[in-house]
Amino acid sequence: VAASGPLEGVVEGPYKRQAFQAFVLTYAAHTSIHLARKAFAASHEELEDYWGFDAEFLGILDTTFMIAYGIGLIVTGQVSGYLDPVMHLSFGLAGTAVSLALFGMSALIGIKGQNYAWYLIIIILFALFQSVSIPVSVWVVSGWFSHDSHGKVFGVWSTTAIVGNLLGLATASLIAFFSAENTALLQMLLIPSFLVLVMSLLIFYFLQISPNAPAPSPAEDSVPIADALAVPWVKTYTLAFSCVRTVDVSLFFWTVLYLHESLGLSAGDAALVAMTYDGGLMIGGFFTGYITDNFGGTRSGMFAVSLILAATTALGTGYGQLVAVVAVTIFLLGINMGGPVLLMPTAVAADLGLNSRKDVTRTIVGIIDGSGSLCAALGQLAVGYASGKLGWTTVFLLLAGLLLVGSLLCLSIYMVDVDRKFELVNTDDYVSDEERVHEDTACIANTNSSGGDSGENNNETAVLISRDSDSSAEPAAGTRRRHIRHASG
């Protein structure tokens, strides 16, 4: 079932185009969500100047958003298994667009800027609708691509957040530059809303689900969160990503202020230096995925090493005195953080879903990403306190400590995985790579020949891989069990 070229791992035949289309549509949809989110964040100055919001209430809005988003991810992962994925994703995008538009048009419909309860309700809805996107999108994309290509595929797909943030900032800047002052705020919120709504319609009409994906199950058959947590390594990765996500969000919110206060950079120059972190994330995410897919490395082992290096560069950033040195350390910090930040809630979650006989991928994505967002929201309170009372050096010491904890958690996964592989290689059940390939080919041929209409079975048969050990890791030769399943279930 492997295809060569940029769509390596996609089911061949008539499905290659649909796989590429699914990748592009979900990429554009999730990018539009981050564009809208960043445009809203960029409108804070206008909200202060024209609507009378103070900095304290804006901080409450941001914290409320992150908490609601984290809870929404966990809930979405739980309920999405018995909802039609196309309808669910389209509905989430449409709700995101409508809630942001309502926020922007509040003054037009007679709701004054001091009506804080209204804005808190809208921002909660804005977060909950957005939380639909990533669990469903990861499930859709992973259904089209084989396990062996998840690292590369999601290394690229996960750049949606970075690309969306850059596009959102550019959109807000252009609107502020070309629009009249009294209309800029409305356009900053309505134009991104329109873009997200367009993506909702494109998803609804053009997104296709892999024919090998399981159909939505009845509500009574949904996978409980406890069952998803029982899948090997889900809890460990959830804790590790909570540490990583807290550091990532802290760098996102506080790096510009740190550069301004500690190194005396202007806001514009500090923003440019901070952007090197995003560039490093994109590079690190792709190469971590590529290496673990193609060279037999384990994701957990790569994450452990990357996070140790990230902790070192975080300390270098906190103790740096020269702008050039700090710019380099921030870029290296992004490279080292890229793999864990971008792949844990996507490629790793998709891999872990293969450890269960139930369709738990969306639930696992929600647990890992949602828990990380909740911890990150609470972590910002600690960062804000430490930066004001204890100094920026202490902040970066705390961030480095979190990265080391994440590294140790990933290392524990890696060590157990290595032990299991070593034990398996020394048993009589070991199967070599050549034997595995011949067995898989024979199984596919036998399944197609015994199914009646061989032409139909050729299109509907897929090799499903499951593993006894860390499913985020590329297994040693012969450690995989083979299962054949028809698309019809």
Digit-coded pLDDT (tens) for 402-428: 999 999 999 999 998 877 766 655 554
Rounded Cα distance, 30 and 177, in Å = 26
- pTM reported for the whole predicted model: 0.80
The better pLDDT of the pair 431, 335 is held by: 335
The confidence score (pLDDT) of residue 473 equals 40
- Residue 317 in contact with residue 109, Cβ under 8 Å? no
3-state secondary structure the chain: CCCCHHHCCECCCCHHHHHHHHHHHHHHHHHHHHHHHHHHHHCHHHHHHHHCCCHHHHHHHHHHHHHHHHHHHHHHHHHHHHCCHHHHHHHHHHHHHHHHHHHHCCCCCCCCCCCHHHHHHHHHHHHHHHCCHHHHHHHHHHHHECHHHHHHHHHHHCCHHHHHHHHHHHHHHHHHHHCCHHHHHHHHHHHHHHHHHHHHHHHHHHCCCCCCCCCCCCHHHCCCHHHHHCCCCHHHHHHHHHHHHHHHHHHHHHHHHHHHHHHCCCHHHHHHHHHHHHHHHHHHHHHHHHHHHHCCCEHHHHHHHHHHHHHHHHHHHHHCCCHHHHHHHHHHHHHHHHHHHHHHHHHHHHHHHCCCCCCCHHHHHHHHHHHHHHHHHHHHHHHHHHHHHCCHHHHHHHHHHHHHHHHHHHHHHHHHHHHHHHHHHCCCCCCCHHHHHHHHHHHHHHHHHCCCCHHHHHHHEEEEEEECCCCCECCCCCCEEEEEEECCC
pLDDT at position 420 is: 75
pLDDT at 374 over 80: yes
Is 54 exposed, middle or buried (CB count within 10 Å of its CB: 0-12, 13-18, 19+)? Answer: exposed
Q: What is the pLDDT of residue 218?
A: 66
Mean pLDDT of 472-481: 38
Q: 476 pLDDT band (50/70/90 cuts)? A: very low
> In Å, what is the CA distance from 461 to each residue of 259, 275, 444, 456?
55, 45, 7, 9
The pair of three-digit structure tokens given for residue 333, joined into one six-digit string? 């910090």
**Whole-number percent of the chain with pLDDT over 90:** 46
The pLDDT tens digits for 37-69 are 988 988 887 888 888 888 788 888 888 999 999
What is the model's pLDDT at position 468?
A: 38
Looking at residue 427, its pLDDT comes to 52
Give the model confidence (pLDDT) of 63-95 as tens digits. Answer: 899 999 999 999 998 888 888 999 999 999 999
Mean pLDDT of 212-233: 77
- Per residue in 64-101, is it b (16+ CB within 10 Å) or e — as a string? bbbbbbbbbbbbbbbbbbbbebbebbbbbbbbbbbbbb
Say if residue 457's pLDDT is above 60.
no
Give the whole-angstrom CA distance, residue 192 versus residue 31: 11
Alpha-carbon distance of 192 to 51, in angstroms, equals 20
Lowest-pLDDT range, 183-197, 237-251, 253-267? Answer: 253-267
Q: How confident is the model at residue 112 (pLDDT cuts 50, 70, 90)?
A: low
Q: Does 432 score more than 50 pLDDT?
A: no
- Residue 166 pLDDT greater than 70, yes or no: yes
| Average confidence score pLDDT of the chain | 82
Percentage of the chain modeled with pLDDT above 70: 81
Q: Quick check: 39 and 97 in contact, CB under 8 A?
A: no
Tell me what the mean pLDDT of segment 195-208 comes to. Answer: 97
pLDDT at residue 459 tops 80:
no
pLDDT tops 50 at residue 321: yes
How large is the average pLDDT for residues 326-347? 94
Is pLDDT at 291 greater than 60 in this prediction?
yes
> Would you state the pLDDT for residue 467?
35
Of the two residues 447 and 82, the one the predictor is more confident about is 82
Q: How far apart (Å, rounded) are the C-alpha atoms in residues 356 and 367?
A: 15
What is the pLDDT at residue 41?
A: 87
Dihedral pair phi/psi, residue 462, rounded to 5°: -140, 150
Cα–Cα distance, 76 to 69 (Å, whole number): 10
